[in-house]
Amino acid sequence: GAVVSQHPSRVICKSGTSVKIECRSLDFQATTMFWYRQFPKQSLMLMATSNEGSKATYEQGVEKDKFLINHASLTLSTLTVTSAHPEDSSFYICSARPRGRGVEAFFGQGTRLTVV
Amino acid sequence: SQQGEEDPQALSIQEGENATMNCSYKTSINNLQWYRQNSGRGLVHLILIRSNEREKHSGRLRVTLDTSKKSSSLLITASRAADTASYFCATALNTNAGKSTFGDGTTLTVKP
């Protein structure tokens, strides 16, 4: 159990377009999901915390209008990179916390975004 | 310094040798997890150790946790070329309900 699926795994988009990344908990309900970003050869940095039915909480320095997060159900959170630019190219990864299981969180396999 | 620092940053060993990676952190934690990441790929969860545990094993992996020193170690025994990857520790704090803070990672190269 505790499988988190991200889609797509890879996406290439043109500069100025928007890209949506989905994070799904397949076999559990997740009241909280987290979005991370990883630049090449660097560690993962938390971008925002997504709570089902409420607004996401963004980390300092992360533009909420650029990185739109929607957690519309207990099994799905989406991250939309709006008006993407080449500097947004990165590896984006989500994690989900099962409801009622304390602080454990499970990670998706990540999405490689390339903006050309 | 950031929560979840690892050392060494890079480690190169011969196949069959053991590899030890360390992780230090600064605040109280609920649990600490170790992950592996192959180049350009997603995270693979290795082991989670809770703050009330001192040692856990999984196959060739051994993780220790010393909460008094705020440190953890990951030991890979009898390493294989396929173990070549980056290894990250991630700490979940008591008050952050699942949010994990990642260390900078250790890049392990196992030479055949």
Confidence of residue A20 (pLDDT cuts 50, 70, 90): very high
**Which helix or strand (DSSP H or E) is residue A61 part of?**
none
CB hemisphere CA count around B63 (13 angstroms): 26
CA distances from A71 to A31, A53, B48 (A): 9, 6, 26
Contact B41 A110 (CB under 8 A): yes
Question: pLDDT at position B1, please?
Answer: 31
A105 touches chain B (CB under 8 A): yes
pLDDT > 70 in chain B, percent = 92
Q: Which residue of A has its CA nearest to B94?
A: A103
pLDDT, tens digit, 9 for 90 and up, residues B82-106: 999 999 999 987 655 667 888 889 9
Q: Are strands A57-58 and A67-73 parallel, antiparallel or unpaired?
A: unpaired
For residue A106, which residues of chain B lie inside 8 Å, CB to CB? 45
Rounded to a whole number of angstroms, the distance from the CA of B8 to the nearest CA of chain A is 14
CA–CA gap between residue B74 and residue A87 (Å, rounded): 34
Question: pLDDT at position B4, please?
Answer: 63
From the CA atom positions of chain B, what is the Rg in Å?
Answer: 13
For residue B94, which residues of chain A lie inside 8 Å, CB to CB? 103
CA–CA gap between residue A59 and residue A85 (Å, rounded): 20
Mean pLDDT of A17-26: 96
DSSP states of B59-90 as a string?
TTEEEEEETTTTEEEEEE-S--GGG-EEEEEE
How many C-beta atoms lie closer than 10 Å to residue B96's C-beta?
A: 19
Rounded to a whole number of angstroms, the distance from the CA of A17 to the nearest CA of chain B is 24
Mean pLDDT of A100-115: 84
